[in-house]
Amino acid sequence: MVSTELQDSPTGTRTAAAAVDDAKAEGRAALVAYLPVGYPDVDGSIEAAKAAVAGGADVVELGLPYSDPTMDGATIQRAAEVCLANRTRPADVLRAVEEVASTGAAVLVMTYWPPVDRYGVERWAADLANAGGAGLITPDLIPDEAAGWLAASQEHDLERVFLVAPSSTDARLETTVRASRGFVYAASLMGVTGTRATVGAGAADLVRRTRAAGAERVCVGLGVSTPAQATEVAGYADGVIVGSAFVQRLLDADSPAAGARAVGQLAEELSAGVRTRP
């Protein structure tokens, strides 16, 4: 079962679990916004994330740019290439975490595992906790190979969000749920991130199966980009995760300020979507 023990973090950090539960108490799903740190530059990405919070995002995923992603589609990869060209580093991500967390939002870092492994798992966990981060989303790390992260996250009261997919067996769902803290990330379809005309047809069944495996909170990502899709997913999930649509608003903007405004506007639209009854 996904732990609820982080509802009141002893450090005062806002957790994703608390954000999702507060949204549930309002009779809606939580809105989770993904943005990569470093696009269009570090300060610009921080302002965009703050705009997402102001627009209604309950949880912010800050992406640590990575050169060889397995889950990111073309939109996020295009932004990540600029982030890497700007020499965005883990220290920049930690600064972004601290500044965005100061808004009161729950802030998770979404990262592939090699950068954390290279940084040092214990050191990363300590620095992330000190920055006010709620925890990590790790798309390429499975619980079976996460002993170091399980220990470090326990030590520093951090959430650990693992992924499940429509192809996950019931046994795999149970393993993932037991290892997760905060929520379980349900990938709505097999593939990579990106906006789509429809959300994966198997997403609702995956949420049902993940809950049956013991999860208290299941948030759905991949393919959600419109208020109507947010309403649809909010009808069966505890949280709606949107990434590429936010990143595309930044890519289309002609200045960092315009990008932040566009992100804030989309957050307002999606926030209305998760509050609409399907």
Q: Kindly report the CA angle at 238 between 139 and 94, in degrees rounded to 5? A: 45
Alpha carbon 93 to its chain's center: 14
Under DSSP, the state recorded for 144 is: G
Closest by alpha carbon to 63, among 32, 19, 30? 32
5: annotated active-site residue: no
Query: Torsions phi, psi of 186, nearest 5?
Result: -100, 115
Q: Which one of 21, 47, 58, 61 is the catalytic residue?
A: 61
Cβ pair 137, 109 in contact under 8 A: yes
Cβ pair 60, 108 in contact under 8 A: yes
Helices (H) and strands (E) in the chain, counts: 12, 9
Q: Which one of 21, 47, 58, 72 is the catalytic residue?
A: 72
Q: Which two tokens stand for residue 70?
A: 């397995």
The CA-atom distances, in angstroms, between 72 and each of 78, 101, 125, 225 are 10, 24, 24, 15
72: annotated active-site residue: yes
Q: Annotated active-site positions, please?
A: 61, 72
